[in-house]
Amino acid sequence: MPDLTGVRSVGVENVSLDEGRTSAPDYLTEAELIGLMEKNGIGTDASIPVHINNICERNYAHVQSANRTISPSKLGVALVHGYRAPYDSNNSSLSSSRYDA
């Protein structure tokens, strides 16, 4: 980059505008979730599978059998939004095609 110290104006040669969209990260796989739980000291080797089983049995999330990703249910999303609501002034709608029933 050139030194522009003392320069009052600069000519513009080219301007472009690119339109794009960001996307949410992929859901975690079971193995990734287990790794993060271990890394953060959540549970023990024996209790981690129990925790994952509990969130599925309580219908907070579902394990997709094809790729073993864990996706939240509408109930799970509502629960997270409920916990965050007192602290989050930017509450978004729960309606999204990303969340299954």
The model's pLDDT over 13-71, given as tens digits with 9 standing for 90+, comes to 899 998 999 998 999 999 999 999 999 999 999 999 999 999 999 999 999 988 999 99
- Cα 26 from Cα 64, distance rounded (Å): 13
Comparing CA positions, the residue from 64, 60, 63 lying closest to residue 81 is 60
End-to-end CA distance of the chain: 53
pTM (2 d.p.): 0.60
Q: What is the DSSP letter of 89?
A: S
